Structure 1
């Protein structure tokens, strides 16, 4: 994913509650994509990896805010 700096700046500007809500929603999306992939209904399998990276970025910002 190119252009991730903007995403990190956007995430850094959010408060902890927003980040937790975003992470919950992203995890739900990831679950749905995995279920679709398991029955071979998912055509764009790269979305799984992209979403995992997004969750990791959210976790990074969230942990930096909690530990600060």
Structure 2
């Protein structure tokens, strides 16, 4: 399974992005819980979920910076 592509995250709308961030955080929680209670089925999912969350948060931050007025001295 390949790592998610950031271009896919950039195509999402603002509401879809927020929903995807929440879903990814919930998935990470489930994976941590699964790891604590039993052996995870796919250990590589941690890496993919963390990578995806970082991409989504990066896109969210880029949009915040685009929409905010820049402070130039």
The two structures have a TM-score, normalised by structure 2, of 0.78
Deviates more, 1:28-37 or 1:10-19: 10-19
Q: Deviations over 1:7-66 (max 9, x none)?
A: 222211212211110000011011001100011231211111110010000000111011
Cα RMSD (Å): 1.8
The two structures have a TM-score, normalised by structure 1, of 0.83
Structure 2, gaps ≥5 residues long: 67-73
Relative to its length, the structure with more helix (as a share) is 1
Who is 2:63 aligned against? Answer: 65
Who is 2:69 aligned against? Answer: none
Structure 1, gaps ≥5 residues long: none
Count of matched residue positions in the alignment of Structure 1 and Structure 2: 66
Structure 1 residue ranges (4+ consecutive) displaced by more than 4 angstroms after TM superposition: 1-4
The structure with the largest alpha-carbon Rg is 2
